[in-house]
Amino acid sequence: MTVQDLIKSLDLTVLSGDEEALSRPVTGGYCGDLLSWVMGRAPQDGAWFTIMSNLNVAAVAALTDISCVVLTEGVSPDPALLERARKENLALLQSPEGAFLLAGKLYAMLHG
Amino acid sequence: MSQGSGFITERYIVNGDDFHAAGSASSAMKKLLRSIGVPPEAIRRAAICMYEGEINMVIHACGGEAEVSFDGEYITIHLADKGPGIENPQLALKEGYSTATDEIRELGFGAGMGLPNMKRNSDELEMESVLGEGTTIVMKIKV
Ligand SMILES: Nc1ncnc2c1ncn2[C@@H]1O[C@H](COP(=O)(O)OP(=O)(O)O)[C@@H](O)[C@H]1O
Ligand SMILES: [Mg+2]
């Protein structure tokens, strides 16, 4: 599964990320808002579901090699995060739904 | 940057006045390690160690310095700050222990998982801290 497949299946809005960013594989996921937990536990090529929307999200995303960030509950990124995500070509996505539902669907697609 | 015969050393200044932008030394290190062909798995562990160390220097010590070297076998990350020091290093290494303020927590930091992450992702971690003088941490990541 790729980020693009995830976008289609979960009906996500793309805030940043070009074709290359959206073609990355998604092989797992992580839900969390405390950055050190995400840093320590998020798997490489995972989708990260969070309500955290500040600039530090871009740094954590890049350093952990996750494939996309999904802002849940309709949260909007801080302008600085959006700018950084565009600059670094990070797949930054958005959904009005909560992490439970989104991650549950992803889990079912990967392991169902 | 010095480069030659399989080893490399780089220094980074970690700015203490902007925790919104923290992580730049870690990203620069990651790019450097990638450019010299270090395996991704080792880079990932080094990046986690460096980021947590960088964040700690920013939120707890008003910034500091990092030196990263690679000798073909180990990535060594040397962090040094002139912050307040750590009163009880053994306690600080416990999961969940944090003295971070509410303001810091609102940004997503202060879970008390930084030092534990550094310990778990490095093969060796040595910490030396003197109250009122600062903290030095050396981490080695086997490639
Ligand atoms: N460089 C440092 N200078 C002073 N104190 C530090 C430093 N690094 C860590 N600490 C202390 O150790 C505690 C635990 O650190 P850490 O595990 O990274 O958790 P957190 O940063 O989330 O509080 C911090 O809350 C702080 O009291
Ligand atoms: Mg920390």
**B99 pLDDT above the threshold of 60:** yes
Interface of A with B in 19-78 (CB under 8 A): 33-37, 39-40, 44, 52, 54-57, 59-60, 62-65
Amino acid at A109: M
Residues A23 and B14: their CA atoms lie apart, in Å, by 34
CA distance B91 to chain A (A): 17
For chain B, percent of residues with pLDDT exceeding 90 = 91
pLDDT tens digits for range A95-108: 999 999 999 999 99
Cross-chain Cβ contact A37/B111 below 8 Å = yes
The answer to whether B113 touches B95, Cβ cutoff 8 Å, is yes
Question: What confidence category does residue B1 fall into, taking pLDDT thresholds of 50, 70 and 90?
Answer: low
DSSP symbol at B136 = E
Closest residue (by CA) to atom 27 of ligand 1? B99
**B4 pLDDT above the threshold of 70:** no
Which residues lie below 8 Å from residue A93, measured CB to CB, with a gap of 6+?
A3, A6, A7, A12, A13, A14, A15, A17, A68, A69, A70, A71
- Residue A3's CB is within 10 A of a number of other CB atoms, namely 23
Closest residue (by CA) to atom 23 of ligand 1? B98
Domains in chain A (CATH in brackets) are 3-111 (3.40.1390.20)
Averaged pLDDT, B32-52: 96
ipTM above 0.95, yes or no: no
Distance B56 CA to ligand 1 centre (A): 6
The answer to whether B71 touches B33, Cβ cutoff 8 Å, is no
**B73 pLDDT above the threshold of 80:** yes
The answer to whether the CB of B110 is under 6 A from ligand 1 is yes
User: What architecture is domain B2-142?
Assistant: 2-Layer Sandwich (3.30)
Averaged pLDDT, B96-102: 96
Q: What is the pLDDT of residue A25?
A: 98
Closest approach atom of ligand 1 to CA B116: 17
Averaged pLDDT, A30-57: 96
pLDDT tens digits for range A46-82: 999 999 999 999 999 999 999 999 999 999 999 999 9
